[in-house]
Amino acid sequence: MYCQNSVGFWARLGATLLDGILLSIAMNFISSIFFGQYGRDEAFPFDLIDLLYYLILPIIWHGYTVGKRILGIRIVRVDGEKLGLGTMALRNIVAGIVYVVTFGVGIIVSAIMVGIRDDNRSIHDLIAGTYVTYDPPEI
């Protein structure tokens, strides 16, 4: 299996930071409308929105999140099939559990993996059978 045009550490980090900034701005705006203040005192609805953003948006938008789209990178399955809910749940939820159980060590290992592996795949990519690429979708 060869992952063509796989994306390295810095572009992936940049997309993650952009997504975080954009979600934070959006959630603060929504918080001010519904709760009359900025901040995340009511965490549950916002955590659910974050989860749905990372689960659903790549499925309906050909592997892109907003941050990934800005940088021209996207998530794809190694077998070439379309992303589905199962794939994204493995990539986000199961991998998130692995990162929590390892007290964050898994995140560090993943960052190193993206930097040194030829295919630039991290732990969550290996769990879900995905990689991140510069290749545009074939629509």
pLDDT, tens digit, 9 for 90 and up, residues 52-70? 999 999 999 999 999 999 9
Q: How far is CA 77 from CA 30, 42, 103, 104, 122, in A?
A: 33, 35, 27, 25, 13
* 91-122 residue pLDDT tens: 999 998 999 999 999 999 999 999 999 999 99
* 6-24 residue pLDDT tens: 999 999 999 999 999 999 8
Q: Are 124 and 95 in contact (CB under 8 A)?
A: yes
For position 54, what pLDDT does the model report? 95
- For the record, the structure tokens of 109 come out as 């290992």
- For the record, the structure tokens of 5 come out as 């045009």
Q: Are 31 and 133 in contact (CB under 8 A)?
A: no
**Separation CA 18–CA 64 (nearest Å):** 12
